[in-house]
Amino acid sequence: MPDPTVPPTPPVPLASLLAREDLALRQIAGPRHPGLAVHWAHTSEMADPYPYLLGGELLLTAGVHIPEAAGSGTYFDDYVSRIVAAGGAALGFGLAPVHDTVPRALVAACDAYELPLLEVPPQTTFSGVARAVWQLMAQARHAELRRVTEAQQSLASAASRPDPVPSVLRQLARRVGGRAVLYGPEGTEIAAAGREPGSEVGPALAELARVVRPGSRPAPASATDTTGGTHLAAYALGAGRGFVLGVAVARREPGDHTIASVAAVLLSLLTGEHRSGTEAARSSALVRLLLGAPPESVAPLLGGERWQVVHGRPEGQDPDAVAASALGAALGSPLVDLGDGIVRVLVPGEREPVAQPGWTLGVGDAAAPADWPAADTRAGRALARARATRAPLVRHGARPALADLVPPDEAEAHARTLLAPLGETLADTLRSWLSLHGSWDRTAVALGVHRNTVRQRIARCAALLRTDLDDPDVRMELWFALRQR
């Protein structure tokens, strides 16, 4: 987790501020290593600024608070020590309008307490220095967000590869410039990527993973530590499954925690199936079906006897695998199929599917395994009606009908004879047209063709059937036949 003592703003390297030619700042005391950074700028003329500092500041002062005899006593030592105790990152001293030069005693105190001291020339205002800090901070934030976004995209792409877990670990290690390790529930190293750390880092990271692993007492979701100058972090994957992600980096960069958190979420999803057993049950069901087992004997492996089929299509685009999985998750079922621009989801019969933003759904009635093919057909018709009427969700209306009085074999024989002159395309067009009460426009939308095409096909149907499609009795008989196809 981020260090709570560090301000929640991107750090600005002190060297970047000194490199600004428009500021003409000059460091005249204190350490000069490249890791020095400031988190904001603050102006104060208080003799003791300690109560007003949060840590990480570039404190700017013109020396108004300095008494005349300050150089002969401990004033500057006390002043600088209080800034350091408050966590101040650097001190900027303005040469105008009070002092022409920086007091030597202040330079000596900053060297003694290792506080960077910057000389601010008369032409540079404190507000100009503060503005430069905010500009550099905005640039750092933009670079951090871009880095995190690129890392998220690469991690998501890695998760879709045939070897998702090693791919995610490799991408994580590359993005943070360190080592990424996946530990199993027993604490063993399952997979790893990135350069090997020092001999003491590996055991320390494994020990940190035990801190977040579920046990007899509550464990944190994540933990951090430092060993031999290497930053360590551990993330528990999922709720109580025991998998842990460990990360070791030589230098911690802004955004590392966010990137590692994204990887932890993806690995939680990837490792969840192995622990839950649902994947094994679905694989067993598939194998049994392929070996000839009847669907009703396989249904218990899927978690229920009666299921309903849902057909879905996103608005304005064809669905992809990610969208299909997302719809399945929203409907509460992992049984998802994507094909021909339609997502089909098998949902437990006791669950009530609801409309989903950005999707058009057709819901079939709950059916036993032997009736799943018919339920799939009814769900497809419900989707066609939903698209034609621009409704987010349409359910198949399952209720007793007159058609149930006719034996199925006789109904099918009558339908084959009556519809024999029509091909598949014409029959589908006629069924959609009748279901939408003869609306040319809505039928065109449902079939994805031009309204003139619908007119031509219906005219062709009337000619081949040698009947009047405006006659309600004819329409009723044709609808009965089409439902049996």
Domain ranges of the chain: 12-136, 160-276, 303-395, 402-484
Report the predicted TM-score, pTM, of the whole model to 2 decimal places.
0.46
Beta-carbon contacts of 411 under 8 Å, excluding residues fewer than 6 positions away, are 403, 480, 484
Q: Would you state the torsion angle of the CA atoms of residues 440, 441, 445, 448, taken in this order, to the nearest 10 degrees?
A: 60
Q: How far apart are CA 24 and CA 122, in angstroms?
A: 10
Which range is most confident: 22-26, 182-186, 437-441? 22-26
317-333 burial code (b ≥16 CB/10 A, e <16): eebeeebbbbbbeebeb
Can you give the pLDDT at residue 87? Answer: 93
Give me the residues paired with residue 43 across strands.
Answer: 60
Q: Quick check: 137 pLDDT over 60?
A: yes
CATH class belonging to 12-136:
alpha beta
Chain centroid to CA 254: 19
User: Averaged over 365-374, what is the pLDDT?
Assistant: 84
Q: How far apart are CA 433 and CA 444, in angstroms?
A: 9
Token digits for 153?
């995209």
What is the number of alpha carbons within 13 Å of residue 14 lying toward its C-beta? 25
The pLDDT tens digits for 436-483 are 888 899 999 888 899 999 999 999 999 999 989 888 888 888 988 888
- Average the pLDDT over each of 27-31, 308-312, 354-358 and give the range with the smallest value: 354-358
Beta-carbon contacts of 75 under 8 Å, excluding residues fewer than 6 positions away, are 66, 67, 105
Confidence of residue 404 (pLDDT cuts 50, 70, 90): low
Confidence of residue 402 (pLDDT cuts 50, 70, 90): low
Dihedrals phi, psi of 2, to nearest 5 degrees: -60, 145
Q: State the fold for domain 402-484.
A: Arc Repressor Mutant, subunit A (1.10.10)
Report the mean per-residue pLDDT for the chain.
85
Chain centroid to CA 109: 50
Of 329, 194, 336, the closest CA to residue 272 belongs to 329
Q: How far apart are CA 193 and CA 378, in angstroms?
A: 49
Can you give the pLDDT at residue 306? Answer: 81
The pLDDT tens digits for 151-168 are 988 888 888 777 788 889
Can you give the pLDDT at residue 278? Answer: 56
Of 434, 454, 455, 457, the closest CA to residue 445 belongs to 454
Q: How far apart are CA 44 and CA 64, in angstroms?
A: 9
Chain centroid to CA 268: 13
What is the percentage of the chain residues whose pLDDT exceeds 90? 36
CATH node for 160-276: 3.30.450.30
